[in-house]
Structure 1
Amino acid sequence: MRLHRLDLTAFGPFGTAQSVDFDDLSGAGLFLLHGPTGAGKTSVLDAVCYALYGSVPGARQGGGQGMTLRSDHAAVGTRTEVRLELTVAGRRLEVTRQPPWERPKLRGTGTTVDKAQTWLREYDAVAGSWKDLSRSHQEIGEEITQLLGMSREQFCQVVLLPQGDFARFLRADAEARGKLLGRLFDTRRFAEVEKRLAERRRTTEARVREGDAALLADAHRMQQAAGDAMELPELAPGEPGLAEAVLGAAAVARGTARELLTVADCRLTARESAQAAADRDLADTRELDRLQRRFAEARERAARLAEGDDAHRAAQRRMERARKAEAVAPALDLRDAAEAEYERASAARTHARARLPRDLADAGAAGLSAAARRAAEELGGLESARRAERRLAELVQEQAGLDRQERADEDVLQEAEAWLAGWEATRTGLQDRVEAARQATARADQLDGQRDPARRRLDAAGRRDRFATEADEAQRQALAAAEHAVGTRAHWLDLKEQRLNGIAAELAAALTDGAPCAVCGATEHPAPARRTAGHVDREAEDRALADHQAADERRARAERRLGTVREALAAATAEAGDTPTARLAEEAGELEEQYTRARTAASGLHAAQEELRRAEHEREQRVAARQQAAVRSASRVAARDRLERERTTLEEELTRARGTAESVGARAAQLERRAALLTEAADAVRAADDTAGRLKDADARLADAAFRAGFDTPRDAAAALLDAAAHRELQHRLDARDTEEAAVRALLAESDAADAARRPPADLAAAETAAADAGRRLRDASSARDAAALRCAELDRLSAHATDAVRRLAPLRTEHARVARLAGLAAGTSADNERRMRLESYVLAARLEQVAAAASARLLRMSSGRYTLVHSDDRTGRGRSGLGLHVVDAWTGRERDTATLSGGETFFASLALALGLADVVTDEAGGVRLDTLFIDEGFGSLDDQTLDEVLDVLDALRERDRSVGIVSHVADLRRRIHAQLEVVKGRSGSVLRQRGAG
């Protein structure tokens, strides 16, 4: 990377436009950037960094906020701008950046904020012109970072070499060095590896503990299954040997359970034998008891049979007479049926004759039939009159229907005429409603487009008011922080000046007789300086410096916050304008009310259109109804005449057919009733005559059947006859007596029962008690055996489950052991890591070793071959090792800490370290060539000889086609370095004066 030109406008202390031609300055290889303190030497380097990365380095970083970078000396209308022209990776580029700018408004009062702007252009050598590449902050930042291969922090370390930082780096401890090297070489991935390994270790450890906890839970369940006869291991989850102890205890529990199962099997076998013997005794006793009771019951039944012999013989005689009477039963049934039929026919005949007219009450069957035929013939002649009567009723209904239609049509005509009379007014009103709703819809759409801008403007006004308050507060805090920072800086400078005035006393305190003075080399010290009252030592100066740096950091934070709030305020003001928030809220509310009213009015458009459409449809229906009513009225006149003529004819016919009856139907009903009564009476007379003959024949057959069956009269036969139920009951009693006699004889003849009756009575209760005791003992033994078997099965199942769990946990335990070993090794806590070096420290140690080797090549030349920087892995105290840095003194041959170097030695050692670090970081960045370097301050602590050696080393960088800019206010350098860039401080701001190598 080579710088060509830098243009500044209103940046830092430079109120006007300034330019730097680096091509002219780099002609001699070395150039000097000098000027008084506070003139703005460092601001030139800040501008380079800001042009490339959009922010300035170190504690001066303002986050790219224009309110921080802008010069206080700039004119109101001049915008801050930085333009840098450079060559990197073979491409000539031009980067232009303008930070956010708070400027006066073009119209009205107050200020507004313009957004930050960035341009990137590339020079086309073929066309001989610049071409635009991008105006995007993000794209330009990514492009520059990719081309340089370095972050902003790396660039500030390897291109803008801050000597104070490297002096502190030499004296820092391992932790501070690690932080700096970690930022430069980006070793976060190695720290992430340490973190991931630690997380992996915790995860596997938790999983192992979970597995051990589950294994202990299985052990507790096995202990419960074994009846607390199992001893659990006194180990916690995660402790080694837990799995083996659990499996061993489980094996002992299983063996004990199997022994108990064998004992239970033997006891169950003995109980089963005793139960079988008791069951056999109980069965024999029950059989003896049953036979004895059977024989006693047979004797009792025989005695009861003997007592009922007389009744049994009477029943046998009754059954015999009933069997004889069964031969007469058909004749008796026939005679009873004939008698019942005759009685019914006689009753029917009497009833029928009572309903006949007096002239026919004593007529025979033939006379009644003839009268019935005459009534039926007269009834048939009335069928035509019936049809005429039905037609007359229909005519009456039709005439009534015509009357109803006429009244309905008159109502329709009147209603239609009344409705149509107001049609024009109704249509005009509905059309006006539709038009008003359409206008309201258009108005609502117009207002809807104005609502969102009004709401956004109101929200922006709220943010504007809030940010205005915050901006006032932030400005107050920024002013207070700036005043405090100025006060602490003045205090620090005062203490520093006091310490410099009394530095001789500090040097004299270290003098001893015979030892050379570090300043003049003399071994005699006749008049060493003495400390005076109020002497300021280095510790007081460092505290004042720390206070100033902290105050300056607070000032920078306050200014960044002020810039952020002002930018937000400008954005909100640009959107909301200057209108008060209350007025905007009132306008938004009025607009919302108008929109609501318009939407309410517009919502009736569809209803109005539908109502107009329904009204037009109703008008068409009413016109059509009026026309149809007129047509129906004309047709009803002819229908009325026709119906009237037909009605007159029918009424004349019905008058002749009715006779004295009220109607043809009544006359027909009279004839139907007469014919029916005559027919019924004729049938009843014939039926009575027939049943009387059949009854006489039945009496003769019954008397003959009773005589043949041996009965004196039919009445005797009827008395001896039994109905089905009585016959079945008597036969059942006779059969039961016979069956009982046979059964009793069989029982009394059984030899087993007779033998049992001769034996002593059976003791059934004692046998049942003995059998119940034996069954209870068997059930107890069976339950004990089942419990032992269940215990064995449960222990086997739990043991198998625990074995599977141990088998599954084995790979996880192995993985945990491996991960824990790797995590401890990477974290530096493992016993295998003898130097307790973390993985990130190990990588940084390798980088530091490379830096020390690169720095030693230049340090040897600067120190005339005396000093060499070496990397050390030794542990410091109880801390960890890996980032030690020592200096080897060739004059003494001893290695000592870099903190023991003097001020001048520390400068060229830190310079050599900075150059070496620049080489290593450049190689790390992919070999990007750095043709322009800047070295900031520190040359005032060198004597003439050391300064010549340092300048020779820097001048040797020209051999690699590099240019080095030295930032210093040492007067002797102005004589030694001809190419100079001077920063001149004035009341109206600083300006740049350039002098080339010639």
Structure 2
Amino acid sequence: MRPVRLVMSAFGSYAGEETLDFGKMDRGIFLVTGDTGAGKTTIFDAIVYALYDRTSGGVRDGNMMRSAYADLRTPTFVDFTFSSRGEEYRIVRNPDYERESLRKDKEGNCKKTQEKASVELFLPDGTIFRGNKKETNSKIQEITGLDARQFMQVAMIAQGDFLKLLHAKSEERKEIFSKIFDTGIYGDFQEELRRREKKSYVFLKEKEQAVKEQMSRILIFDGWEREEELKAAIEKENMEQVLPLLAEILKEDKKRETKTFEELEKVRKRQEQWGKQKEQAGSLLELRQRISEYKKWLSENLSSEQSLKEETERLEKEEKEKTESLQDLRNIVQKEKEAFVQEEEKCLLRLQEIEDLKSMWASTIESMKENRLLGEKWEQANRNYKEKVQLYEELYEAFFREQAGILAGKLCEGEPCPVCGSRVHPNKAKASQKAPEQNQVQRAKLLRERAEKERENAQRLFQESAQKYKESLGRLRQEGSRLFGEGFQPGEEAWRKQASSAMDEAKNQVKILRQEYAERKKIGEEKIKNLTEECRHHSNRLKDARKRLELFIRKAEQVQGELKAGFQQESALLKKWENQEERPEKILAAAEIELERLKTERSILEIRWQEVSGERISNERTEQVLKKYEKEYVSLKKAYELIHHLSQTACGSLAGIAKIDFESYIQRQYFQKIIAKANQRLIQMTAGQFILKCRNLENLGNRGKVGLDLNVYSLVTESERDVKTLSGGESFMAALSMALGLADTIGDSVGAVRLDTLFIDEGFGSLDENSREQAIRVLYDLAGENRLIGIISHVTELKEQIEPKIIVKKTKKGSRLSWLL
């Protein structure tokens, strides 16, 4: 990677926009010079900030790089163009900073606003990379092939850092290399081994404690001859001795358990024997007591059966009588209802017939009125017809007479008449001025025909109405004669009044009939309700009596059956007592005393058997656990010994050898590479006087953390001494060689990444003229044909020795920079 162009605006000590074109030099060494604090290192800070959003020193972030000299209108940004693998990329990055707002307040003063941090990456084809800030930073790191830490180690030998690496102790150098070469994973590996060792040790100790606890649970019965031997083995935690002794105890526990169980079984059998005798004696005595009670009950209650039967028969008879009375009452009420319904139907029929007659009467009157109206319409239509006939005949005759005058008006002398054929017309007819026209005659004809149809229709309707009225009147006379006799005349007003009176009488009769029936029905239903309630109450009494009789019979049969079975059982039990000398009462008392004694003895034996059995079960469980723990303990001990050895080896804790841990051992390989590359340049700088050498492991001894110790080997005296014995100038050359070797090693470790530009910050002031020339010569060789090396320094001799310069000038309004080639 090679810088092409750098633009800084309001960045660091630069108040305005400063442009640095690296294209003016394609190779060699150039000097960055200026006063202290002018902003020489800021140039490298700007490059690191553009690439990685941080500064080279790591103390200040991008947000702190806003120039104190810049006004609010000047933007803060870094615009960095660089080439990588033959293609150019451009980065424009700005931090968070406060700038002047485009808006103004009420007084017209400019307001302030916060500009958010942003970054843009321009690709070789001119397009902008699409991604957020984090994605853009990742893309830049992908292009450079280095992260910020690696870039600052490879591209910048910072002020004082290379001397720090030269004089560092082994532990300090380890910390530096861990960050540079990312060897923390090996340190994590050491810590993981140490953690696993500790965990394995804890598991082992826990298992030892568990074994000890299990041994303490072994139960030893009193009087065992090897008790002291077992206790001594438990005290020593000797599982090989404890397990055989525990097996011997288990054998004795089983013998004791068997013996106690046999004694307990004997007591159980004796209990069963005495229990049977007690049961037999008790059963016989109890049976006799029950027989006595059954006899007593029968003697006291057999006389009650007859009275219960008589009561039941009496209640059955009474129930039958009441049921018959209830049925008779219901029959009477039903007959009254039927008679009422028949009478009501007659009255309603009479009422309906009178109503129908009145409707028929009204219908007949309507027919009569309709017939009269239609008769009048027929007479009117007949008169209208005659008028229309007369009008038509008059118009027709007048029109016919006028036809001769019309024909005569058209005749000429010598032409034949269309009527008579005469060619002579001496007396022609003359047309009248009032003669009707033909259309008037036709209209009169149509009116005549229409009047004729209306007359015929009116006649038909009148005849139909007359027939309907005649039929309706005949039906009315027939129905009226049936209801009121042969003298009924529908046209007389008296008969109409008689019909209305008959209708009112029929309605009143229905009303009276219904009222009388409702009263009789209410009385009958009340009697049925009362009698039904009496029947229900009597029925319940009968059911209760029958139930009491049934229960008594069942109880008596049961008692008689029990009494019979009791006699049979007594007979069977007496047969078993034929060989007994003692009476049942005496044997029962003796059995109770003996069973109480055996109960106490059995309880004692059960407790003893449970104790012996519990000891045996506990010892068996302890034996199983100890055998399991024995296998687990061997496995855990083997695993612990293995991880313990690995942890001591990785952590450099093995006795009798150098205390170098795994991470230091890996770092030692990098250290030897750094020293080899450093010596290539140090031989040139010192004219072959001395080289650097990593101290051999066999010479390190057992003191503290070692492995990264550095010595100086004199090629002149062929002697080796500590690097701290070098003079100031020698230390600078050795440190510079180490720094260059470190940069080369880092470059090699990140693969194909090549940086064509290197910055060296200060340090040349401690060299004499000869050493300085040798160091510059080495740097010229390092630059070769393609590399740029920038030395940041204010040493006067370097200003004279190196012509290409970037001059940084400090002013009251901020720093300025320019090329001097």
TM-score class normalised by the smaller sequence: 0.5 to 0.7
Deviation at 1:142, TM superposition (A): 1.2
**Cα distance in 2 for residues equivalent to 1:896 and 1:902:** 13
Q: 1:137 to 1:954 in 2, by over 3 A?
A: same
Partner of 2:119: 118
2:736 aligns with one of 898, 907, 911: 911
Deviation at 1:114, TM superposition (A): 1.1
**Cα distance in 1 for residues equivalent to 2:521 and 2:799:** 158
Query: 2:348–2:510: 8 Å Cα contact kept in structure 1?
Result: no
Partner of 2:675: 852
Query: 2:260–2:608: 8 Å Cα contact kept in structure 1?
Result: no
Partner of 2:25: 25
Query: 2:347–2:506: 8 Å Cα contact kept in structure 1?
Result: no
**Cα distance in 1 for residues equivalent to 2:524 and 2:667:** 138
Query: 1:160–1:935: 8 Å Cα contact kept in structure 2?
Result: yes
Percent sequence identity over matched residues?
27
Q: 1:388 to 1:892 in 2, by over 3 A?
A: farther
Query: 1:382–1:668: 8 Å Cα contact kept in structure 2?
Result: no
The residue correspondences of 1:383-782 to structure 2 (distance < 5 A) are 384-385=342-343, 648-652=505-509, 663=516, 780-781=604-605
Q: 1:214 to 1:651 in 2, by over 3 A?
A: farther
**Cα distance in 2 for residues equivalent to 1:851 and 1:378:** 139
Q: Secondary structure at the match of 2:60?
A: coil
Deviation at 1:256, TM superposition (A): 2.1
**Unmatched 5+ stretches in structure 1:** 125-129, 236-240, 298-336, 353-374, 393-641, 673-724
Q: Secondary structure at the match of 1:38?
A: coil
Query: 2:234–2:242: 8 Å Cα contact kept in structure 1?
Result: no
Q: 1:383 to 1:979 in 2, by over 3 A?
A: closer
Partner of 1:35: 34
The residue correspondences of 1:133-532 to structure 2 (distance < 5 A) are 133-134=129-130, 136-223=132-219, 231=231, 245=239, 248-249=241-242, 251-263=244-256, 265-266=258-259, 384-385=342-343
TM-score normalized by the length of structure 1: 0.51
The residue correspondences of 1:920-931 to structure 2 (distance < 5 A) are 920-931=745-756
Partner of 2:8: 8
One-letter amino acid of the structure 2 residue matched with residue 663 of structure 1: E
The residue correspondences of 1:53-132 to structure 2 (distance < 5 A) are 53-58=52-57, 61-65=59-63, 68-108=64-104, 109-124=110-125, 130-132=126-128
Q: 1:209 to 1:377 in 2, by over 3 A?
A: closer
1:963 aligns with one of 780, 783, 788: 788
Partner of 2:810: 985
**Cα distance in 1 for residues equivalent to 2:792 and 2:184:** 33
Q: Secondary structure at the match of 1:663?
A: helix
Partner of 1:818: 642
Query: 1:250–1:795: 8 Å Cα contact kept in structure 2?
Result: no
Cα distance per residue 1:656-691 (max 9 Å; x no partner): x89xxx93577899999xxxxxxxxxxxxxxxxxxx
**Cα distance in 1 for residues equivalent to 2:607 and 2:215:** 25
Q: 1:862 to 1:146 in 2, by over 3 A?
A: same
Q: 1:283 to 1:92 in 2, by over 3 A?
A: closer
One-letter amino acid of the structure 1 residue matched with residue 48 of structure 2: C
One-letter amino acid of the structure 1 residue matched with residue 36 of structure 2: T
Query: 1:386–1:665: 8 Å Cα contact kept in structure 2?
Result: no
2:772 aligns with one of 934, 947, 951: 947
Cα distance per residue 1:858-891 (max 9 Å; x no partner): 1111111111111124548741111111111223
Query: 1:852–1:871: 8 Å Cα contact kept in structure 2?
Result: yes
Query: 1:829–1:836: 8 Å Cα contact kept in structure 2?
Result: yes
Cα distance per residue 1:273-321 (max 9 Å; x no partner): 79989999x899999x99xx99xx9xxxxxxxxxxxxxxxxxxxxxxxx
Cα distance per residue 1:742-787 (max 9 Å; x no partner): x9xx99xx9978xx69x9x999988987887677656645653453
Query: 1:271–1:778: 8 Å Cα contact kept in structure 2?
Result: yes
Q: 1:172 to 1:651 in 2, by over 3 A?
A: same
TM-score normalized by the length of structure 2: 0.60
Query: 2:681–2:737: 8 Å Cα contact kept in structure 1?
Result: yes
**Cα distance in 2 for residues equivalent to 1:267 and 1:220:** 26
Q: 1:32 to 1:651 in 2, by over 3 A?
A: same
The answer to whether 1:972 aligns with 2:797 is: yes
One-letter amino acid of the structure 1 residue matched with residue 56 of structure 2: P
Q: 1:381 to 1:895 in 2, by over 3 A?
A: closer
The answer to whether 1:867 aligns with 2:694 is: no
Q: Secondary structure at the match of 2:11?
A: coil
Query: 2:653–2:659: 8 Å Cα contact kept in structure 1?
Result: yes
Partner of 1:888: 713
Cα distance per residue 1:75-112 (max 9 Å; x no partner): 44221222222212332212222222311222224311
Partner of 1:841: 664
**Cα distance in 2 for residues equivalent to 1:668 and 1:5:** 128
Q: 1:175 to 1:671 in 2, by over 3 A?
A: closer
One-letter amino acid of the structure 2 residue matched with residue 901 of structure 1: L
Q: 1:272 to 1:866 in 2, by over 3 A?
A: same
One-letter amino acid of the structure 2 residue matched with residue 651 of structure 1: N
One-letter amino acid of the structure 2 residue matched with residue 385 of structure 1: E
Deviation at 1:645, TM superposition (A): 8.4
Q: Secondary structure at the match of 2:13?
A: coil
Q: Secondary structure at the match of 1:801?
A: helix
Query: 1:201–1:820: 8 Å Cα contact kept in structure 2?
Result: yes
One-letter amino acid of the structure 2 residue matched with residue 793 of structure 1: I
Deviation at 1:158, TM superposition (A): 1.8
Deviation at 1:914, TM superposition (A): 0.6
Partner of 2:363: none
Q: 1:156 to 1:751 in 2, by over 3 A?
A: closer
Q: 1:764 to 1:901 in 2, by over 3 A?
A: same
**Unmatched 5+ stretches in structure 2:** 105-109, 289-309, 326-332, 351-498, 526-552
Query: 2:253–2:616: 8 Å Cα contact kept in structure 1?
Result: no
**Cα distance in 1 for residues equivalent to 2:43 and 2:579:** 139
Q: Secondary structure at the match of 1:107?
A: strand
Q: 1:643 to 1:166 in 2, by over 3 A?
A: farther
Partner of 2:541: none
Deviation at 1:118, TM superposition (A): 2.0
1:901 aligns with one of 726, 730, 733: 726
Query: 1:211–1:805: 8 Å Cα contact kept in structure 2?
Result: yes
Cα distance per residue 1:719-748 (max 9 Å; x no partner): xxxxxx9xx9xxx9xx99xx99xx9xx99x
Partner of 2:492: none
Q: 1:646 to 1:763 in 2, by over 3 A?
A: closer
Query: 1:163–1:914: 8 Å Cα contact kept in structure 2?
Result: no
Partner of 2:422: none
The answer to whether 1:793 aligns with 2:793 is: no
Deviation at 1:389, TM superposition (A): 8.9
Deviation at 1:856, TM superposition (A): 1.1
Q: 1:667 to 1:14 in 2, by over 3 A?
A: closer
Query: 2:267–2:601: 8 Å Cα contact kept in structure 1?
Result: no
One-letter amino acid of the structure 2 residue matched with residue 827 of structure 1: C
Query: 1:85–1:93: 8 Å Cα contact kept in structure 2?
Result: yes
**Cα distance in 2 for residues equivalent to 1:668 and 1:131:** 114
Deviation at 1:166, TM superposition (A): 1.2
Deviation at 1:935, TM superposition (A): 1.2
**Cα distance in 1 for residues equivalent to 2:92 and 2:271:** 116
**Cα distance in 1 for residues equivalent to 2:618 and 2:80:** 84
Equivalences, count = 586
Q: 1:377 to 1:773 in 2, by over 3 A?
A: closer
